[in-house]
Amino acid sequence: MKPNHAIILAAGMGTRFSESTGSEVPKPLYPLNGQPLIEYSIQNLRANGVEYIHIGCGFHMEAFTYLKQKYKNINLVYNPYFDTRSSLYTLEMFKDIVLEATWLLEGDLLYEPKALELPIDQLKGKSLILTSQALEVDDNVYFSADNGQLIELSKTLDLLERQGVMTGIWLFEAGILNDFSAYCTLQPNAYKQDYEVLLAQFSRDAYPIQVFQNDQFSWCEIDHDDHLTYALEQVLPKLL
């Protein structure tokens, strides 16, 4: 059965993006072809059967409130530490809220909806990370795996270890958020680390997360002006 819930992480300040583009709006609300970036994700999720969408907000949270009027079953959760703690804290806020299987996505992604159309056998009792071949833009986060199990995520992996890149899209089975949160309490300076890196460590040490490689869809993360250009030229035309 496909997940009925999704978590979108959208609490960050997007400093690199605002410095690059001059935009003062939260990055997930930046308009692409007249529509805020995050709404493409909401529409993709709804098209794939997701009814409940939980958004972790922080920076200018009030700007996100219109989504509750525009779409049904949108839950906004405020992270008061958005400017001092990593997005790991935002993710952990949902451990007692989202108890079912869920998608996890970052709020600055633009992707084709078919990215979420996984084979049914991938949706049964598994947690996974969706990966792809490297994009022709900078800031690729490479992964290494062992027998299909995620082992490491890094921007600086040795060339021989690189097997592809993470897309920022995850699928979690029920209960994994509580287990992951418990694991993070044992890690030094956890809230200074990227949640993705800790998830890879979690997969290696405690709870296998499977890698699902899909090179058949277009996507990008938007962190700065070069990413925005790539999104507008290479990804957005396939969504319109």
How far is 84 from 81, CA to CA, in rounded Å?
A: 5
Compute the average pLDDT of residues 81-93.
95
Domain count of the fold of the chain: 1
CATH number at residue 183: 3.90.550.10
Q: Which two tokens mark 97? A: 């809220």
Q: Dump pLDDT digits (tens) for 152-193.
A: 999 888 876 788 999 999 999 999 999 999 999 999 999 999
pTM of the model: 0.95
Q: Which two tokens mark 107? A: 């709020």
- Average pLDDT value over all residues in the chain: 93
From residue 90, alpha-carbon distances to 19, 81, 84, 150, 206 in Å are 23, 9, 11, 22, 21
What residues make up the domain containing 229? 5-238
From residue 192, alpha-carbon distances to 21, 138, 207, 218 in Å are 26, 23, 22, 31
Q: Dump pLDDT digits (tens) for 48-77.
A: 999 999 999 999 999 999 999 999 999 999
Work out the pLDDT band at 103, boundaries 50, 70, 90.
Answer: very high
Instruction: Using the predicted structure, report yes or no on whether residue 24 has a pLDDT greater than 90.
Output: no
Q: Which helix (H) or strand (E) holds 20?
A: helix 15-21
Residue 186: CB atoms within 10 A of its CB come to 9
Instruction: Using the predicted structure, report yes or no on whether residue 218 has a pLDDT greater than 80.
Output: yes
Instruction: Using the predicted structure, report yes or no on whether residue 20 has a pLDDT greater than 90.
Output: no
